[in-house]
Amino acid sequence: MSQDKLPGHYRRLLETYPDYMKALNELGQVVQRQGPLDAKTGQLVQLAAAVALGSEGAVHSHTRRALAAGAGPEEIRQALLLLTSTLGFPRVSAALSWAEDVLSA
């Protein structure tokens, strides 16, 4: 994703704390290489965690990242629906709405 398409808050963090953000990015890359999960599966796992936390921004981010890693919109929607029995309908409904912000853009 180009720098100008990043959310404003994230861009400000990159500008204000470049070393911190570089380390954070490197950590994400390191943990991705630590096991057999492919990038798409890893992003779907992180998307589920974002839903569990109720973080709209993280749902947006991991929806974009899951798409970039090869997940299709229906895979993303199913991953969210699978959370219903664990997290409940209200949380999943909100997450579906947030994911649609990205999927319908």
3-state secondary structure 7-45: CHHHHHHHHHCHHHHHHHHHHHHHHHCCCCCCHHHHHHH
Dihedral sign from CA coordinates of 90, 96, 4, 67 = positive
* Cα torsion angle, 83, 90, 78, 45, sign: negative
* pLDDT at 1 > cutoff 60: no
pLDDT, one tens digit per residue, over 72-83 is 999 999 999 999
The arithmetic mean of pLDDT across residues 14-28, rounded, is 96
* Average pLDDT, integer, range 83-99: 98
Residue with token string 């990015």: 25
Predicted confidence (pLDDT) at residue 3 exceeds the cutoff of 80: no
pLDDT in tens, 25-62: 999 899 989 999 999 999 999 999 999 999 999 999 99
Cβ(43)–Cβ(65) under 8 Å?
yes
Class for the domain spanning 38-105: mainly alpha
Q: What is the pTM of this model?
A: 0.88
pLDDT (mean) for 4-12? 83
Q: Is residue 70 very low, low, confident or very high in pLDDT (cuts 50, 70, 90)?
A: very high
Residue ranges per structural domain of the chain: 1-35, 38-105
Q: Are 66 and 76 in contact (CB under 8 A)?
A: yes
